[in-house]
Chains A and B, each alone.
Chain A
């Protein structure tokens, strides 16, 4: 499935992601990691922590609605993989981000910006493995 090269939309999106990460540090003193936010909402360590994470998650989920108000359509989601692959991939991601203590937002954006050695290693490892997996799935297995 071919997708259009969108440097400007992607750059603006990236800048907004960065702004949100800076805002969360300014407001709450926390890194913006989607894994930590989701895990925190699922199993709260304290009620005040649960509250701000739930507010943040509510804002995140409202993103597509704001997008549709601005651009007159819902964001495009094209899924080139089968449902079993979505399920297997989802479970593996869940296990991986829990053991790896973070994902693209926590390690890849916030941790990289803090020049955290753990995050730099984590980001290099997951980018490499995603690349290898896509190669194997598409060009070796032909799925």
Chain B
């Protein structure tokens, strides 16, 4: 049952992503192309997702613990440093070039679209490259 519930949670996310248009690079890039073929749809994705999550978290985080673990494990850092800002800036540049973000591309793997496969392979390469760079800077 536990395993099924986690799978179903991923399925709800995946359905939401493909319904929303987040897995369609043309729509994503048009959202940011206010000077060109602007499509404001993705504002509704972000708006709907943030409002539901904001309300839902208020209820869930009142519990002493989640259903399948002993404690909540949410990020607690409040550090705003160059790594956060620089990384986010890079992510924005990459997202603007390719039109896919990780959350948009991963569910789209299920379509077997070759561009999605190319993006995810490149994404994984970038993640490993960054982890290698981080380990090097950590040891210096």
Contacts and interface: CB of A to CB of B under 8 A. Distances in A.
Contacts of B80: 117-118, 121
B127 A94 contact: yes
Contact of B19 (A16, A59, A93, A138): A16
B95 A89 contact: yes
Contacts of A130: 32, 92-93, 95-96
B138 interface: no
Main secondary structure of the interface of A (DSSP, over half): helix
Given A2-B30, A2-B37, A56-B7, A83 B87 contact: no
Main secondary structure of the interface of B (DSSP, over half): helix
A80 B29 CA distance: 9
Max chain A C-beta neighbours (<10 A), residue from B33, B78, B93, B106 = B93
A113 to B, nearest CB: 4
A134 B96 contact: yes
Contacts of B110: 60-65
A55 B3 contact: yes
Contacts of B56: 18-19, 21-22, 25-26
Given A20-B10, A25-B74, A55-B7, 10 more contacts: A2-B39, A28-B66, A29-B74, A56-B9, A86-B119, A93-B94, A100-B91, A112-B54, A130-B92, A133-B97
Interface of B: 3, 5-27, 29-30, 32-37, 39-54, 56-57, 60-61, 63, 65-69, 71-75, 77-80, 83-104, 106-111, 113, 115-116, 118-131, 133-134
